[in-house]
Structure 1
Amino acid sequence: MEEQAGRLADFRARLSGGALTLGQLASRRGEQDPDATGDWVAVRRLERSLIACVLPDRSLVVPAFQLTEAAEPRPELRPLLERLLGAGIDGWTAWTWLTQPSSLLSGEVPERVAVADQERALRASARFAADRDA
């Protein structure tokens, strides 16, 4: 059990390398106030259009893959996030599934498939969510 927890912590540490702190996100959005950015993130999380994850030090990070160049949520990911987060899947699990090859997509990466074939990615997210419920 401790070994599995250690592997999970290592994996999360690798994932968080592709994330932005609220300060970094504020800078990318051209905002001066990280608190205002935190409010923006909170609203996007409630809309299920953005994942944010809490690190062990209780700081919040936003996975960069889900943002456009303008630091807005990628619109093609919203239906997938709505499905995953609506099914009670936590941000870490959603982040992992969206950015890793999935057997539900013949080894393709869900966030990349969503660009070319959103319906296919949405069906896979529904199956993933259902499998997590079973």
Structure 2
Amino acid sequence: MSGACGNDVVDPLAFELAAWLEGLGLSAHLADAGLPSYQRDADGTPRWRDPATGRQMSTDQLRALDAMLRGQGDEPEHGVPLGLVQVARQARVRAELTATPSHSYETLAQARGESVNAARFFVHKGADNHQVLLVRADELLLIPAFQFDDAGSPRADLAEVLPPLLAAGMDPWLVWGWLTQPAALLGGAIPEQAAADPAEAPIVQHAARRLAQTVARD
């Protein structure tokens, strides 16, 4: 009968799982994916905890976790936990996006030549009308800078691109990512850059409407 991993004796599977996930670069994303996670002791021993109870996981629990994580594809021994990979990718994309220029109310007010209160009103009115993209990151409210011109006004070339996506209820993070990263619907072009080209703008607008329709159906 399989018992709990004691404080002095830790099941070898605890080490194997930790090393495998660290090798894949996924160990830091376990908790965000709602999965059991671990911390290493000073001597490097991984202590796996059940998120429901906070207790150290038993051998049976470790085996169940191992089977679940590896249960992808036709060769489970080489499987990759796809759900965890998706969480890790989302975290990586969000980190990349937050590293790009964003406005605060203060910097946008300076660009627009108006008070901070006026800029705040402009931002939230624009968001309500699906004309301004706002993104929440923990306690911060990010106002991605790509959507404005040098005077702090919404870019005219995005007037037919951004609103359909926001009106469809698309996750603001996904809107930000789709507009500023290579898009398959555009053959790898970056939508917000392609929209500035009069020859490409209609294609970007069409792609945005198609994406909005897909989001609205889901």
TM-score (norm. length: structure 1): 0.86
Letter of the 1:38 partner, please give it: R
Shift of 1:102: 0.6
How far apart, CA to CA, are the structure 1 residues paired with 2:131 and 2:159? 5
Q: What is the number of residues matched between the two proteins?
A: 132
Letter of the 1:30 partner, please give it: G
* 1:79 aligned to which of 160, 171, 182: 160
1:40 aligns with 2:122: yes
Structure 1 or 2: more helix by fraction:
1
Name 1:119's counterpart in structure 2.
202
Contact 2:93–2:177 (CA under 8 A) maintained in structure 1: no
1:60 aligns with 2:112: no
* 1:15 aligned to which of 61, 78, 97: 97
Shift of 1:84: 0.6
Unaligned residue ranges in structure 1 (runs of 5+): none
Deviations 1:6-63 (A, max 9, x none): 5423422321232112222222223342x32111101111222210111201x22111
Unaligned residue ranges in structure 2 (runs of 5+): 1-32, 35-83
Contact 1:53–1:61 (CA under 8 A) maintained in structure 2: yes
How far apart, CA to CA, are the structure 2 residues paired with 1:16 and 1:27? 21
Instruction: Give RMSD over aligned pairs.
Output: 1.8
Letter of the 2:132 partner, please give it: L
How far apart, CA to CA, are the structure 1 residues paired with 2:141 and 2:155? 19
How far apart, CA to CA, are the structure 2 residues paired with 1:61 and 1:107? 26
**3-state DSSP class of the match of 2:170?**
coil
How far apart, CA to CA, are the structure 1 residues paired with 2:108 and 2:91? 23
How far apart, CA to CA, are the structure 1 residues paired with 2:132 and 2:191? 15
> RCO greater where, 1 or 2, for CA within 8 Å and sep 6 or more?
1
TM-score (norm. length: structure 2): 0.55
With over 3 angstroms needed to count, the CA separation of the structure-2 counterparts of 1:7 and 1:21, relative to structure 1, is farther
**3-state DSSP class of the match of 1:115?**
coil
Shift of 1:65: 0.6
